[in-house]
């Protein structure tokens, strides 16, 4: 599943399903961050089902849709792609570029440092077992 083939509407539908779980099309449409026509949404959902990103289940007379691809898995694939395009394949170089180009406050940098320290600590704990 190549995440870069997903369009803005498909990503928005996934965002909604990750946040709210299994929903009917009208519920998804109501949660969209921008107006989307019913026919367009149905096309989006059909594409997501066909690509394996979303599951569709009939319950009574209504179809319900749920994300099949975990958010973290799709994010990981996107990050690999971004690292390949912008940083020669290096996640470390990609993060460095994001830090350099983002408008980060000192508090943001502190949070990043704490996150990195926690990740390093977790890796070290796994290695010592």
Using an 8 Å Cβ cutoff, are 25 and 63 in contact?
A: yes
In a domain, 80, yes or no: no
- The answer to whether residue 84 sits within a structural domain is no
pLDDT at 124: 46
Q: In this structure, is residue 17 part of a structural domain?
A: yes
Max intra-chain CA distance, the chain: 55
Domain contains 79: no
In this predicted model, which residue has the larger pLDDT, 64 or 1? 64
φ/ψ (deg, to 5) at 54: -135, 145
Q: Are residues 60 and 102 in the same domain?
A: no
Q: Are residues 9 and 55 in the same domain?
A: yes
pLDDT over 50 (residue 59): yes
**Is residue 8 assigned to a domain?**
yes
Residue 95 token pair: 């993060």
* Domain identity same for 52 and 12: yes
Are residues 63 and 99 part of one domain? no
* Residue 96 resides in a domain: yes
How far apart are the C-alpha atoms of 47 and 52, rounded to whole Å? Answer: 9
pTM (two decimals): 0.78
The whole-number pLDDT of residue 118 equals 86
Query: If you average pLDDT over every residue of the chain, what do you get?
Result: 90
Residue 1 pLDDT class (50, 70, 90 cuts): low
Residue 123 clears pLDDT 70, i.e. is over it:
no
Q: How many domains does the chain have?
A: 2
CATH of residue 15's domain is 1.10.10.10
Q: Are 61 and 94 members of one domain? A: no
Expressed as residue numbers, the domain containing 10 is 3-67
Q: Are residues 13 and 61 in the same domain?
A: yes
């Amino acid at each position: 599943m190549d995440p870069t083939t997903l369009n803005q509407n498909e990503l928005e539908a996934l965002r909604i399903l990750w946040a709210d779980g299994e929903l009917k099309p009208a519920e998804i449409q109501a949660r969209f961050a921008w107006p989307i026509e019913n026919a367009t949404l149905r096309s989006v959902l059909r594409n997501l089902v066909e690509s394996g990103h979303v599951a569709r289940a009939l319950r009574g007379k209504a179809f319900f849709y749920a994300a099949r691809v975990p958010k973290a898995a799709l994010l990981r694939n996107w990050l690999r792609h971004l690292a390949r395009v912008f940083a020669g394949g290096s996640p470390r170089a990609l993060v460095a570029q994001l830090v350099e180009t983002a408008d980060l406050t000192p508090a943001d940098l502190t949070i990043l440092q704490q996150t990195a320290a926690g990740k390093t600590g977790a890796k070290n704990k796994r290695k010592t077992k």
